[in-house]
Amino acid sequence: MSRDFYIPNDAELNRREWQRRDIFQVLAGQYRCDLEAYYLLKKCSDAKNMEQWNRWRAENLEKEIYLQGADLGEGYYLKANFSQIHFEGAFFWRAHCEEANFSRAHCEGAYFLQGNCEGTSFAWAHCERAYFGWTHCKSTNFGKSHCEGANFHSAHCENANFVDAHCENAKFVLTFCEGANFLQAHCEGAFFRDAHCAGAIFECADFDGKSQFTFCSIDENTDFRLVNLGALRIEPGKRALLERNTRRLNWETWYKETTDEWPHAAFICKRNFRGSWEAQDWRKIVHNALSYLYLLLLLPMAVASWFKVGIVWAFWYISDYGYSTVRILKTFIFFFFFFFILFTIYPSLLFFCGGASLLPHILHHPYTLNTTTYRTLVTK
């Protein structure tokens, strides 16, 4: 009973721990389980304290532990160390795995249905075909993990980390991905449908013609920079919104880089000068005084940079970064009535060329003033 990798016989299969699923794989010898580790884990779970398990795991780091097909449902594994353990086909139904460490673990085909994995680390883990349906994965780390074919149906993955993860053919149906980070993730063939992706980051993620991103909710903070949107199957309106987000984020980065140089230099000079004065180091004081002089010389350049940023920002704001024609029309109508009212109240602004006023002609024909009429009136 205590030897490693023991395959339970028919009598032992009647025990509660082996009744729920994959009985046929266990009988056929496809799954292996270290019963010593299994019973220790169940004991710690019943006590809701993983300290004994973590000590035992630390003493057996070099040991290959197999808990394949094990029934670990409804257990308490908070902050447990499961790194490099084989959980192929294991059953974690409604298990509490908050802040547990599954890094480099083998969880192929494991079931985390309705479990709680908030703050858990699956970094470099193998989660191929794993089922995370209705699982709480808020702030969970899937960085560099293998989630090919995994199912995240209705899972809560808010602020989850999928950086450089392999999500090929993974399913994210009705998944809550607000604020999730899919930076450089491999999403070829991934299926996003009715997912909540407000504020999610997909920068540099890989999509192909089989990838689907339909009926998903996005907002102005959803980031698809450096993504081939042409290959992604998505509604045209949402593709246009994502292209608008890309332009806005790129230009906001440029705004920041253009205007940050002078305030940063001012902060450095102020900090260094104050420290030098308190230390009464006159050489540093002279050095920083010269730095302040250089900073004053940079001030005109900073003003010019801010002015340039203001002009560019106003241009893109009018068109909402090329996304809204309505805003352009509203801006045109606003300035039309603004100047019309301005020149009506202050007619002296329309005096040109020796006192000839355009106001009577505008009031008489307010809607027929064109370029030819304007030139004729000015040359009188």
Q: How many Å apart are CA 154 and CA 133, to the nearest integer? A: 6
Residue 41 and residue 125: Cα distance in Å, rounded?
A: 20
At 334, give phi and psi (nearest 5°): -60, -50
Instruction: Give the pLDDT of residue 285.
Output: 63
Average pLDDT over every residue of 295-321:
82
Task: Say what the pLDDT of residue 284 is.
Answer: 65
Mean pLDDT of all residues in 333-351: 83
**pLDDT at 163 exceeding the cut of 50:** yes
Query: What's the confidence (pLDDT) of residue 256?
Result: 85
Residue 88, both tokens: 């192929």
Contact call for residues 298 and 262 (beta carbons, < 8 A): yes
User: Bigger pLDDT: 18 or 309?
Assistant: 309
Question: Based on the number of CB atoms within 10 Å of its own CB, is 81 exposed (0-12), middle (13-18) or buried (19 or more)?
Answer: buried
Map tokens 């019943």 to a residue: 46
pLDDT digits (tens, 9 = 90+) for 20-50: 444 334 434 578 889 999 999 999 999 999 9
Q: Is the pLDDT of residue 4 over 50?
A: no
| pLDDT over 90 at 321, yes or no | no
Mean of pLDDT values over 7-13: 41
Per-residue pLDDT of 273-289, as tens digits, reads 554 445 456 666 666 66
Asked whether the predicted pLDDT for residue 206 surpasses 50, the reply is yes
Q: Say which residue the tokens 């995370």 belong to.
A: 132
Residue 376: per-residue pLDDT:
47
pLDDT for residue 1? 35
Rounded CA-CA distance 94/52 in Å is: 22
Listed range (105-109, 171-175, 307-311) with the worst mean pLDDT:
307-311
Beta-strand pair 191-193/171-173: parallel
pLDDT at 6 over 50: no
Q: What is the DSSP secondary-structure string of 239-302?
A: HHHHHHHHHHHHHHHHHHHHHSHHHHHHHHHHHHHHHHHHHT-HHHHHHHHHHHHHHHHHHHHH
User: Average pLDDT for residues 61-85, to the nearest whole number?
Assistant: 94
Q: 218-227, long-range: CB within 8 Å, 24+ apart, which pairs?
A: 218/242, 220/244, 220/245, 220/248, 221/245, 222/197, 222/198, 223/249, 225/249, 225/250, 227/202, 227/203
pLDDT computed for residue 347 by the predictor = 77
Instruction: Quick: pLDDT tens for 349-374.
Output: 766 544 445 545 545 554 444 544 44
Q: What 8-state DSSP symbol labels residue 351?
A: E
Mean pLDDT for the chain overall: 82
Q: Which pLDDT score is estimated for 12? A: 43
> Is the pLDDT score of 313 beyond 80?
yes
| pLDDT-above-70 percentage for the chain | 75
